[in-house]
Structure 1
């Protein structure tokens, strides 16, 4: 153990600990695992988390709707500009009703 520890710059007690864990529990015990306490509430089922996701989805939906309305407004403004310019260039049509 001392020789292996010296070769890999480890304490012999650490090597001894790993050997004991391997002999007791096998290779799975030496693989990395999550540390710390498990969460009490699963985040997927947490009401706060669900509400947050719903609000975020609603916000995304509203952003998409706003972008669509802005695009429609832009197109309407362009159409109005084209109509104004065509009236300025060609004048009102002969078949258009006259305003009194």
Structure 2
């Protein structure tokens, strides 16, 4: 509305009629815009903010957080085990390529 009012040569009453609002509202918005900028015209949260957090919600959040930490730790352990297993497999593959497979039947004295 303020953008339209500033870019066109209509009066406040004409702008208000165009957007189906009161002319005084256009005047209030214009003065707020001139004093504080566009961010002052953004919607504000409604209602009273909570005074204290409920203990049950805090316990749930802590339980959820500890569960999340436990799962992250478990995932890190599994990833480490997977890495070690892959390294062992690669070592065995390399040794087979260098020394060849064992041939049963031939024994050295």
Q: Which one has more relative contact order, counting CA pairs under 8 Å at least 6 apart?
A: 2
Q: Pick from 75, 79, 84: which aligns with 2:96?
A: 84
* Runs ≥4 residues deviating over 4 A: none
- The answer for the alignment partner of 1:94 in structure 2 is none
Distance in 2 between residues matched to 1:71 and 1:31, nearest whole Å: 51
Aligned-residue Cα RMSD (Å) equals 3.9
Is 1:10 matched with 2:20? yes
- The answer for the alignment partner of 1:34 in structure 2 is 45
Q: Deviations over 1:37-80 (max 9, x none)?
A: 5456269x711011101111111111111111101001011112
Distance in 1 between residues matched to 2:85 and 2:62, nearest whole Å: 34
Is 1:70 matched with 2:85? no
Gaps of 5+ in 2: 1-11
Distance in 1 between residues matched to 2:69 and 2:24, nearest whole Å: 50
Distance in 1 between residues matched to 2:42 and 2:85, nearest whole Å: 59
Query: Structure 1 66/14 Cα, relative in aligned 2: closer, same or farther at 3 Å?
Result: farther
Distance in 2 between residues matched to 1:81 and 1:50, nearest whole Å: 46
> TM-score, normalising length from structure 1?
0.55
CA displacement at 1:36 relative to structure 2: 4.1
